[in-house]
DNA sequence: TGATATTGGTTGCATTTGTAACTATCAATC
DNA sequence: GATTGATAGTTACAAATGCAACCAATATCA
């Protein structure tokens, strides 16, 4: 009979991942919250638009695995504060193409710089091999975890 | 002048970690929610008590970096459903020692087994070196991310 | 002894989130 | 061209969360 008390919580991957995710996001979160009053979903939307160009809300949902209500509210908030605009497009009026305003782009540029800084600080502790493995494993988990 | 659009979101560690954490937790979350009506903080409390023996709420907060209000509510919910009991202790009546009931222990045993199963499935994709690096890196992030 | 600060834990309130139901547009089928 | 079914996005309501204020017990120190 195996003793369940042998189970090592500190080795349990979902637990480690959740704690690491939280710890790693804290400082950056503080930054975009203080500076732009954004929350996580909002900066993610901004990053997607800034990085990949104009997208529909749906596309952001799919790419980032975020629920549509969350994106909907984030977009509404960002629009209210003039970070982005919507252009319904002719072909299919259900879609709305989202694009960053000048203000949105400026925020994106600044946030990217800051993100890069945080990432460098975080990853600076690891060597190239470790970074590669880390990223590869995480991507694998992201891609398989969903439907499994 | 660097183009911010070069920034690779898919390489940004906090983003990867958050997505991996979410993806890796989904199935297990579904399990303990369906089976015991627990939520994340609740099973974490159960795991801590099951694994490390009786603890005070404060100790759980510290060990798991969870805010005290969250733990307080989780404990209340677990007590209501008879998964644990509280013993205020003589020396300092501010503290309350928490311990799992028989029912709580049974749930813990079952959840541990299930957790182990999920973890095996998740980590099965990686070799020993990768697992080691992954765990080591995550622990490093957890330990340094907090105050940095 | 009494005033003040600290600590473990809870509660109230505002904000966020998840779920489901909804609107509006388009596609498919008859 | 009317009916049914998807699909993009919003909204309403309940549950979860974060923050600050709170209570009670203890520690500190005049």
DSSP string, chain B: ---GGG--GGG-HHHHHHHHHHHHHHHHHHHHHHHH---HHHHHHHHHHHHH-SEEHHHHHHHHT--HHHHHHHHHHHHHTTSEEEEE-TT-TT-EEEEE-HHHHHHHHHHHHHHHHHHHHHHTTS-HHHHHHHHHHHHHHHHHHTT-
Coil/strand/helix, residue A125: coil
In angstroms, the CA of B89 and the C1' of D24 are apart by 15
Quote the CA–CA distance of A56 and A92 in Å, as a whole number.
Answer: 12
Residue closest to sugar C1' of D7 by CA: A94
Give me the sign of the Cα torsion angle B63, B64, B68, B73. negative
Chain B hits for A20, Cβ within 8 Å: 17, 21, 138-139, 141-142, 145
* H helix intervals, A1-148: 13-36, 40-52, 57-64, 68-80, 102-123, 128-145
- Does A24 reach chain B within 8 Å, measured CB to CB? yes
Q: What are phi and psi of B71, to 5 degrees?
A: -65, -45
Give the whole-angstrom CA distance, residue B62 versus residue B44. Answer: 13
Binary contact (B20, A21; C-beta < 8 A) = yes
Q: Where are the domains of chain B?
A: 8-145
User: A126 CB near a chain B CB, below 8 Å?
Assistant: yes
- Residues of chain A above pLDDT 90, percent: 86
- B44 Cα distance to chain centroid: 4
pLDDT of residue A1: 54
Give the CATH class of A4-145: mainly alpha
Nucleotides of C under 7 A from a protein CB: 7-12, 16-20, 24-27
**Residue B64 — φ and ψ, nearest 5°?**
-105, 0
Distance of CA A49 to the CA centre of its chain: 12
Residues A96 and A87 sit within 8 Å (Cβ to Cβ): yes
For residue B145, what pLDDT band results from cuts at 50, 70 and 90? low
Q: Tell me the three-class secondary structure of A62-98, residue by residue.
A: HHHCCCHHHHHHHHHHHHHCCCEEEEECCCCCCCEEE
Structure confidence at residue A28 (pLDDT): 94
Q: What is the phi-psi region of residue B82: left when phi exceeds 0, alpha when psi lies from -120 to 50, beta otherwise? A: left
Determine the Cα angle at B2 with ends A104 and A44, to 5°. 35
Six-digit token pair at A143? 């891609």
Share of chain B above pLDDT 90, in %: 87
pLDDT of residue A145: 64
Half-sphere exposure of B2 (CA within 13 A, CB side): 8
Protein CA at A73 to nucleotide C1' at C20, angstroms: 17
Q: Which nucleotide is nearest to B74 (CA to C1')?
A: D16
B47 in reach of chain A (CB within 8 A): yes
Residues of chain A with pLDDT below 70 are 1-2, 145-148
Q: What is the DSSP letter of A11?
A: G
Check whether domain B8-145 has CATH 1.10.10.10, yes or no: yes
| Model-wide pTM > 0.95 | no
- Tell me which of A41-45, A129-133, B5-9, B40-44 is least confident: B5-9
Closest residue to C11 measured CA to C1′:
B69
Question: For A140, which of B27, B125, B138 is closest by C-beta distance?
Answer: B125
């Amino acid at each position: 009979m195996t003793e369940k008390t042998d189970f090592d919580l500190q080795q349990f991957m979902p637990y480690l991942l959740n704690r690491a995710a939280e710890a790693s996001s804290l400082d950056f979160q503080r930054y975009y919250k203080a500076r732009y009053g954004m929350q996580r979903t909002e900066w993610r939307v901004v990053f997607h638009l800034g990085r990949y160009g104009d997208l529909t809300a749906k596309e952001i949902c799919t790419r980032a695995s975020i629920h549509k209500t969350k994106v909907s509210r984030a977009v509404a908030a960002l629009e209210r504060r003039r970070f982005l605009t919507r252009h319904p497009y002719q072909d299919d009026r259900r879609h709305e193409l989202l694009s960053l305003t000048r203000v949105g782009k400026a925020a994106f540029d600044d946030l990217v710089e800051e993100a890069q800084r945080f990432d460098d600080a975080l990853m600076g502790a690891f060597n190239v091999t470790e970074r590669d493995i880390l990223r590869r494993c995480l991507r694998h988990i992201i891609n398989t975890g969903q439907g499994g």
